[in-house]
Structure 1
């Protein structure tokens, strides 16, 4: 498996880049987020890669960040999402925007990407839930370890992100974990 390429950019033709690695030219498909941040032609570059071997082709995909490659790998594991559609998603949305759309279950943001319909967007939201890192809809709420523990307890009990976050805001900042859970449950039962 080819995991990384370091060489000189010989050609740039979106979404493909030709990288010369000691006399061997590798054609690498990249998302537009990577393409826009590449150095100019003739300059050195290092890309993390993912190789897909098919019956009729060997396809190499490149990424500037490990986060992009990880997200690409998550996307292509989803039924009905191929490498081209995964590249389109990463070209249309930053990884952080995709993670936020998933955490907030916003299918509308995904359907703005060409080739992503309503059903595909809903499948993506379902399949990616909890896989793209921490829930980005809640960072301003959690300020202490106790609050994080209370939040996790509420989520484990089946409350959704918005309910748990709203309840957490109403608790005193210095409340203990067990007392905080009791207060939160009392508040949620009203």
Structure 2
């Protein structure tokens, strides 16, 4: 089982990277929190990896921190949550907020995460509340810091809208959120900053 991968970053998107390790390119699914921390394409990168075996393929899911990998494993332990939905959840809410929402039975906050319906959100709280309490007493949650440079404005806006749509938000809602962020001084900011602010708008 692959637990960690290190190599040259060949391609990165908001949901996937390709890492070259000794001439073999590994496609790895990632949450937004990991995307925020990635270096530039061409740089060396190291990710903690969860290997998910399906009948006819293998899915690799990567994280910048071991803490987030463990939180991902908690999420997929919930009945009905697979790796893609777990990644989607971790992309729609940061680790500290997710743990706080589960520990404090904050159903309203969880319902704002794309892909989590009421029944699934209730199940997450029911099945993980005690586990999260035990886990947070031992693990330190890593907060996400933005350190990326600004990119072309029009391309950035299109990428941000596309990323939100991929997370499950409706096209118009995604566009409205990005427009609001830009109008409030989000111009000339990096993609990850815009996405963070847009996710906060959508969570209101």
Query: Scaled by the length of structure 2, what TM-score is found?
Result: 0.64
2:128 aligned with 1:110: no
**In the alignment, which residue of structure 1 is the partner of 2:71?**
71
Unaligned 5+ residue runs, structure 2? 138-204
Unaligned 5+ residue runs, structure 1? 136-190
Q: Report the 3-state secondary structure (helix = DSSP H, G, I; strand = E; otherwise coil) of the residue aligned with 2:62.
A: strand
**In the alignment, which residue of structure 1 is the partner of 2:126?**
126
CA contact (8 A) 2:13 2:35 kept: no
**In the alignment, which residue of structure 2 is the partner of 1:43?**
43
**Residues in 2 aligned to 1:17 and 1:109: alpha-carbon distance in whole angstroms:** 29
Query: Scaled by the length of structure 1, what TM-score is found?
Result: 0.69
Q: How far apart are residue 108 of structure 1 and its match?
A: 1.2
Greater helix percent: which structure? 2
**Residues in 2 aligned to 1:65 and 1:131: alpha-carbon distance in whole angstroms:** 19
2:85 aligned with 1:85: yes
Query: Larger relative CO (CA 8 A, sep 6+): 1 or 2?
Result: 2
Residues paired across the two proteins, number: 135
Q: How far apart are residue 94 of structure 1 and its match?
A: 1.4
**Residues in 2 aligned to 1:16 and 1:72: alpha-carbon distance in whole angstroms:** 16
RMSD: 1.1
Q: Report the 3-state secondary structure (helix = DSSP H, G, I; strand = E; otherwise coil) of the residue aligned with 1:40.
A: coil
Q: How far apart are residue 36 of structure 1 and its match?
A: 1.4
Map 1:135-154 to 2 at 5 A.
none
Q: How far apart are residue 5 of structure 1 and its match?
A: 0.3
**Residues in 1 aligned to 2:58 and 2:43: alpha-carbon distance in whole angstroms:** 25
2:31 aligned with 1:21: no
